[in-house]
Amino acid sequence: MGELVDARPELVHAAVVARGDGGTRIEPLKCAATAAVAASKASGWRYEKEIRIILPDTSLRDRRFLPLTPTSIAAVYCGCRISSPDETAVRLALKTPHFKHVELWLADLDKSDYALKFVKRDI
């Protein structure tokens, strides 16, 4: 599994939880195991600087989807292997008026490094 970084579950006391009205609330974590998972990450992924949001199942729609408001989405990033039909579907979704402010970024493989290069694209 590799070395874990930021494995400090004692620092993870709460999660951001979506409310039905589109807002959020902070809720304490009641499970130490959940806090331990949320606070740990393999050292090879340290560069990501991700933000993790831990949600109880009750805050998810159909137990799968986090309800988001259009204004909470600033950009959509697509991987370099996105299929043409999926990219078209993303572009069509972003053309709707309530997503007019959202940027589209597509990944390309970097030609000289083992990395992805994201390029902002017009919708």
Shared domain for 52 and 76, answered yes or no, is no
Considering the domain boundaries, does residue 64 fall inside one?
no
Q: Tens of pLDDT along the chain (123 residues)?
A: 445 444 444 444 555 555 556 665 655 556 666 666 666 677 777 776 666 666 655 666 676 667 778 998 899 999 999 999 999 999 999 999 999 999 999 999 999 999 899 999 999
Count of structural domains, the chain: 2
In terms of domains, do 76 and 116 share one? yes
Give the C-alpha separation, 73 to 100, whole Å.
11
Is 44 a member of any domain?
yes
Overall pTM surpassing 0.85 (yes/no): no
CA distance 120 to 75: 10
- At 21 the pLDDT is 62
* pLDDT value of position 4: 43
Q: Is residue 86 in a domain?
A: yes
Point out the domain boundary residue: 17, 39, 59.
Answer: 59
Whether 65 maps to a domain, the answer reads no
User: Domain boundary at 59, 80, 103, which?
Assistant: 59
CA quadruple 75, 76, 78, 82: dihedral sign: negative
Q: What is the 3-state secondary structure (H, E, C) of 48-76?
A: HCCCCCCCCHHHCECCCECCCCHHHCCEE
Note down the domain range covering 38. 4-59
